[in-house]
Structure 1
Amino acid sequence: MSGTASAVRVERQTTGTELVSRLEGARSRIEQRFLDGGVVLLAVLDVLNRLVASLENLSRSLDDETAQATIGRLVATVDQLTALPAIEETRQQRLASVSVTEKSLGTHIADMQETLRYLRTFATTAKITGAAIPDFSGFAEEILERIQFGRKEVDALGAKIGTLSGVIDAASLGGGEALERFRRSVPDIATNLSRNAADLTSQRKHLSQLAGKVGSSARLVQTKVATTLSAMQIGDITRQRIEHCQSAFAFLDEHLAAGTLDGDAAGRLTALVHHLVRDQLVAITSDFGRECKTVVGTIRSFGTDIDGLMALYGDMAATDGQSADRAMRTLEADIDAARAVVRDIEQAAGKANALGSSTVETVRELLKGVKTIQLVRTDIHYMALNTNLRCSKLGEEGRAINVVTAELRTFSAQLDETAERILVALQSLEGDAGKLGEAGNAAGGSLDIHLEEVLDHIRRAGDRMEEDMAALRDCGADVSAKAGRTIAGLDFNAELGDVLADCAASASDLIGHAMPDTAGLEEAMADLGSRIARVYTMASEREIHARYFGGTLEAAPAQPTAMSDDDLFDDALF
């Protein structure tokens, strides 16, 4: 018995060695080729993932609420900017009014100084005239001292007004030219800001829409690649089924090695296994070809999908991306130009405000000085009146002095009139100076600070968009290179289908046309058939197995890939 079994094994080895070798070659090639294909598709999926992530980042930067709010704030700021020339014109008018009032003060001070000179002259004359009258000399000297004190107060008042005049002249210097420059530049700047802000908003919206379309297209390709990766389980399924054929030969060898069959029975059992393996390989080749055709067709469709994706991406990157970036940078330049004008206007406003504050303070000091002069005038008036009364008592001796002191009273009254005019002018000056600050600034504080904040937001938004567009360009180049170059070569059926067909043909060469007689092989078939059946994972394998070994066989425990080919591809493919 052992000799016969040994002879059968030698015969099976000589006839089946080539098939076993081809099966192992097919199994290893399928395993490696699908692993390589999986690596390629994973690389494509990775770059698509990065493309989608870049698009999402870009969309977030384009739809950034802060950026949109910034542009809205800029548009509101344009209205304030447009109002600046009118504000500056009002300021210049009030500054001119301050200057006119200040110059009138100079005239009044000169009149007061002239009046004091007359008073001094009359007081001196009175002193000389009354030199012979007892105690009159001291009285006249007292009047001269008050006049001298008043002259010093008036001179001090004149000096302060002169200083104020210099400040007002400096503040007014070039005001007309500056106002004309503002009138020429502000409308153009405001128009450019409004137009470019509107262009930027429109371009960002269009770019965001394009990014959404590119993202949708990229996600479709991404999903298709991911689904194809799942569908490539056909490679693993085919490898397993080949291994099951190899297991059938291995289990046959083990059963024959036990020596329980004679040469004839061993030959018939071997022929039965050859028929089984041949039919399994025919089914494997057919299933592999059918499913690979679908996988390869899907992979080939990537080319069209990716071409469409890259065309859409190219339109976004080459046109709207550059336009939005240019609009962003143009807007930055416009804001810089606006800030230069606004700074000049706000500096002028600052000077005017400072002038207004200092003028108000000076006016208050001048008011005190004028009140002092008025007190001096009152003193002189009453001194002159007392002198008149004393002279009346002196009779003829006091007549000449009485004439002079009457003039003192007259001119002291003029001094009071001039002081009143100065008071009126000072009150007007105080009012005009206070209004300088009212004209000063745009609503809401410093417009330059607002523009600086807007510029900072826009600049940061522009930088983010540039970074996102750069990342997008890199991803786009990777998609174009990797997808276009590598996917084209993934034709699994062309490379592996012939290998499987060759294995099936070799299996056919091992068998005759007729089925072997299985009489007397029931026990061997039950044992061997059961062992072979337990490795199956596909329903189609068990169906073929049942045709040769009969019976209803229980399915093997489900493994992760234990789905039928049809079920798998119904779920996996489009």
Structure 2
Amino acid sequence: MTSSADPHAMRRLADDLARPRQDIEAAFVAVGGRLTDGAALLNKLSKLFEALPQTLGGEQVEEASSHLRAVASRAEHLATSFAQEKSDLARLAEVVAAANSPISDLKRAVKMMGIVSVNARVTAAGIVGDSDDFEVFTTDIATLSDSASRTIQDFAQVYRQLTAEVDRATSQRARFEAAHADTLTHLGSSLGSTLVALDQQRAVALESSTETGRVSRQIVGRIGSAVMSLQVGDATRQRLEHAELALTSMAELLGGETAFDQTLPADQHETALAALAALQHQQIAATAQSFAQEVEQAEADLSALAADAGTIMARSRDFHGDERGTSSAVASLSAQLRRAVTILADFEAERAKLEIVAQAVQETVKTLLEHVAAVQEIEANMRLVSLNAAVRCAQLGPRGASLTVIATQLRELTSETVIAAEAAMARLGESSTLAGSFGTATDQGSGQIGELEEQANLALDILSTLDQALADALKRLNSDGPKVIKLLEAAAGGLSGQSAMAETLDDIAIATAALSTQAPPAQLTTELSAILASLRKTYTMEAERQIHDRLFAATSSAQSAASDESGKAEQEADLAEFML
């Protein structure tokens, strides 16, 4: 009997309870931390991918698709007009080249005028005396010839510039067409095919969203169940702490010390030990049973949660693109749009070059017309000079015959100059008309290209933002997904050895019952009743209170009834004394 009431044995049992309590507490804190971190990451990923299908099916994507269909349709129309421009440019080159022949005649006639002018000065110097006034041959003809030569040189220089500009434009267009043969046509068909792929991916995304939502809701439920299951760790810790307190307090009381502001007479030690041993046996055994059931459920919930996390991430990867999550119709369409914008910019630049050529042709023809007017003025002056020269030659008689021939040649060459200039301008006038109509068409086409490029850029901005969102989501998935699974699997693994703790607690419960061979007392002493009442106040779990009340309910009720009778008798005695 004495050994069974040994305070040291009770303290050893309290220490035995402290070790599993600490292990359970550490394990559940670690599991709870992993569950919290994993659930937070999984929640972010679920919300991220649930929102993406709405983005794919939103108004912005519809707007982008509309822009792209316009680009595809009008790109094919633009290809047809670009082919017409090729024909117009070839005709322009032919017309400008055709002016080369009359301009060559013009240059030859002016050169001959210079030679005749020199002959006129030499001849006039040989036959004219000091008293003769033949300045018309020595000065006027030379002056007009030099003026005509300078004018035609300027004319020829401007023409050479025009020819070089047209030839350069023709060569550039040829190189451009070699590099972009059927580009616009292929662009339209390629965009159309990719738009179909985008529509298909959007349909898959909407379907995937439904499944993702279902799994997400299931995960939310499992998280709630897991959190509830993990509460058994804290509940077990508190119940074991109360059992430790009870054993430690009993050891102190049996050792003659004070506990719960009470001391226990030696003659009540065995009774109190029987009561407390029975109480703690039931408390610890019930704690072990509850812990075993709840920890098994928590482990199952966490394992299922890890499996669901893997499912939702696999669904999300399928939704984004291929099985590796590295491609999507949006990414492909964005790449094609970037290429389309580059192509459209190239076409616009090429057409701008033609517009420059058209402007150059018109400006050049305008300049050449000014030169032709100067030639016509020179021709009129040359006719007056020739007429004056004929009068002077008639005054000289036979001596002026050679000068008469020279004057006649000058008139003929002057006429040839005018004819050649007008022939050249006839050709170039046609080129000016062609350039005018060509420039108008280019202005219209340039506006179309600018509009197409604007639409493509609008669509590209929208899809680039969307594709970036998809890429960010995939990056987050590849980064956080493995972390989520690892955390949840680790959380489940952290509970794998906890069921053995229930067996340890059962062993301690049996050892606690063995502290006393007596049955719990039917009547509680005042001291023991106060100790048990103080012990009950430390409980935080309803299950603890129920066990306590079941074990000591009858005793507590009888004592309460006796106390009530005693109090009633005292009240009646006091009343009788008051009446007397």
TM-score range, shorter chain: 0.7 to 0.9
SS in 2 for 1:516: coil
| Cα pair 2:75 2:184 within 8 Å, conserved | yes
Is 1:501 the counterpart of 2:501? The answer is: no
- State the identity %: 18
SS in 2 for 1:537: coil
SS in 1 for 2:322: helix
| Cα pair 1:98 1:429 within 8 Å, conserved | yes
- Partners of 2:519 and 2:316 in 1: how far apart? 63
Say which is worse superposed, 361-370 or 295-304, in terms of deviation. 295-304
1:372 CA drift (Å)? 0.9
- Partners of 1:164 and 1:474 in 2: how far apart? 64
Is 1:475 the counterpart of 2:480? The answer is: yes
| Cα pair 1:55 1:472 within 8 Å, conserved | no
> In the alignment, which of 19, 32, 39 is matched to residue 28 of structure 1?
19
Partner residue, 2:365: 363
- Partners of 2:46 and 2:60 in 1: how far apart? 18
Q: 1:506 to 1:322 in 2, by over 3 A?
A: closer
The one-character-per-residue Cα deviations of 1:329-377 (angstroms, maximum 9, x if unpaired) are 6863x56765776576456445434433443443333222111111112
Partner residue, 2:571: none
1:538 CA drift (Å)? 2.6
> In the alignment, which of 544, 550, 562 is matched to residue 556 of structure 2?
550
Q: 1:24 to 1:186 in 2, by over 3 A?
A: same
Partner residue, 1:247: 245
Q: Structure 2 stretches of 5 or more lacking a match?
A: 560-580
The one-character-per-residue Cα deviations of 1:464-488 (angstroms, maximum 9, x if unpaired) are 7556534423433334445346515
Partner residue, 1:146: 144
Is 1:234 the counterpart of 2:226? The answer is: no
Say which is worse superposed, 337-346 or 538-547, in terms of deviation. 337-346
Q: Specify the code of the residue in structure 1 equivalent to 2:30.
A: V
1:423 CA drift (Å)? 4.4
Partner residue, 1:5: none
Is 1:107 the counterpart of 2:109? The answer is: no
Q: 1:249 to 1:87 in 2, by over 3 A?
A: same
- Partners of 1:516 and 1:509 in 2: how far apart? 16
Partner residue, 1:525: 528
- Partners of 1:422 and 1:335 in 2: how far apart? 48
Is 1:13 the counterpart of 2:5? The answer is: yes
- Partners of 1:340 and 1:258 in 2: how far apart? 93
SS in 1 for 2:99: helix
Partner residue, 2:89: 95
- Partners of 2:411 and 2:558 in 1: how far apart? 146
Q: 1:400 to 1:328 in 2, by over 3 A?
A: same
SS in 2 for 1:232: helix
Q: Specify the code of the residue in structure 2 equivalent to 1:243.
A: E
- Partners of 2:321 and 2:367 in 1: how far apart? 69
Q: Specify the code of the residue in structure 1 equivalent to 2:171.
A: L
1:234 CA drift (Å)? 1.8
- Partners of 1:503 and 1:80 in 2: how far apart? 86
Q: Specify the code of the residue in structure 2 equivalent to 1:139.
A: V
| Cα pair 2:13 2:512 within 8 Å, conserved | no
Partner residue, 1:569: none
| Cα pair 2:45 2:476 within 8 Å, conserved | yes
Q: 1:151 to 1:496 in 2, by over 3 A?
A: same
1:379 CA drift (Å)? 1.5
SS in 2 for 1:324: coil
Partner residue, 1:328: 331
| Cα pair 1:19 1:503 within 8 Å, conserved | no
1:222 CA drift (Å)? 5.9
1:550 CA drift (Å)? 1.6
Say which is worse superposed, 369-378 or 53-62, in terms of deviation. 53-62
> In the alignment, which of 170, 173, 191 is matched to residue 171 of structure 2?
173
Q: Specify the code of the residue in structure 2 equivalent to 1:275.
A: A
- Partners of 1:156 and 1:376 in 2: how far apart? 15
- Partners of 2:484 and 2:199 in 1: how far apart? 29
The one-character-per-residue Cα deviations of 1:405-443 (angstroms, maximum 9, x if unpaired) are 788767756654554454454444344445555527463
Q: 1:299 to 1:57 in 2, by over 3 A?
A: closer
Instruction: Give the TM-score normalised by structure 1.
Output: 0.73
1:84 CA drift (Å)? 5.0
The one-character-per-residue Cα deviations of 1:129-163 (angstroms, maximum 9, x if unpaired) are 99789867333452454245324422431243134
Say which is worse superposed, 77-86 or 448-457, in terms of deviation. 448-457
1:456 CA drift (Å)? 9.4
Is 1:269 the counterpart of 2:272? The answer is: yes
Q: 1:239 to 1:412 in 2, by over 3 A?
A: closer
| Cα pair 2:100 2:424 within 8 Å, conserved | no
Q: Specify the code of the residue in structure 2 equivalent to 1:244.
A: H
SS in 2 for 1:266: helix
Q: 1:55 to 1:135 in 2, by over 3 A?
A: farther
Say which is worse superposed, 126-135 or 323-332, in terms of deviation. 126-135
| Cα pair 1:59 1:208 within 8 Å, conserved | no
| Cα pair 1:80 1:442 within 8 Å, conserved | no
Matches within 5 A, 1:289-368: 289-302=292-305, 304-306=307-309, 308-309=311-312, 311-313=314-316, 315=318, 319=322, 322=325, 324=327, 328=331, 332=335, 334=336, 345=347, 348-368=350-370
| Cα pair 1:329 1:462 within 8 Å, conserved | no
- Partners of 1:31 and 1:351 in 2: how far apart? 84
1:306 CA drift (Å)? 4.1
SS in 2 for 1:295: helix
> In the alignment, which of 379, 383, 404 is matched to residue 381 of structure 1?
383
1:535 CA drift (Å)? 1.1
Q: Specify the code of the residue in structure 1 equivalent to 2:136.
A: F
The one-character-per-residue Cα deviations of 1:184-217 (angstroms, maximum 9, x if unpaired) are 3432244334433553565477458647855763
Q: Specify the code of the residue in structure 1 equivalent to 2:88.
A: R
Q: 1:418 to 1:55 in 2, by over 3 A?
A: farther
Matched residues, number = 541
Q: 1:135 to 1:61 in 2, by over 3 A?
A: farther
The one-character-per-residue Cα deviations of 1:113-144 (angstroms, maximum 9, x if unpaired) are 56657878998999979978986733345245
Partner residue, 1:164: 162
SS in 1 for 2:528: helix
Q: Specify the code of the residue in structure 2 equivalent to 1:495.
A: A
- Partners of 1:381 and 1:59 in 2: how far apart? 94
Instruction: Give the TM-score normalised by structure 2.
Output: 0.72
The one-character-per-residue Cα deviations of 1:50-74 (angstroms, maximum 9, x if unpaired) are 3544566677888499995777766
Q: Specify the code of the residue in structure 2 equivalent to 1:172.
A: T
Partner residue, 1:538: 541
Say which is worse superposed, 253-262 or 355-364, in terms of deviation. 253-262
> In the alignment, which of 170, 179, 186 is matched to residue 188 of structure 1?
186
| Cα pair 1:70 1:458 within 8 Å, conserved | yes
| Cα pair 1:47 1:475 within 8 Å, conserved | no
Q: Specify the code of the residue in structure 1 equivalent to 2:26.
A: L
| Cα pair 1:164 1:359 within 8 Å, conserved | yes
The one-character-per-residue Cα deviations of 1:7-66 (angstroms, maximum 9, x if unpaired) are x8x44434x765654454344314422431441343244244335445666778884999
Partner residue, 1:557: none
| Cα pair 1:285 1:497 within 8 Å, conserved | yes
| Cα pair 1:38 1:229 within 8 Å, conserved | no
Partner residue, 1:284: 287
- Partners of 1:552 and 1:111 in 2: how far apart? 145
Q: 1:167 to 1:432 in 2, by over 3 A?
A: same
Q: Specify the code of the residue in structure 1 equivalent to 2:331.
A: M
1:265 CA drift (Å)? 3.5
Q: Structure 1 stretches of 5 or more lacking a match?
A: 1-7, 554-574
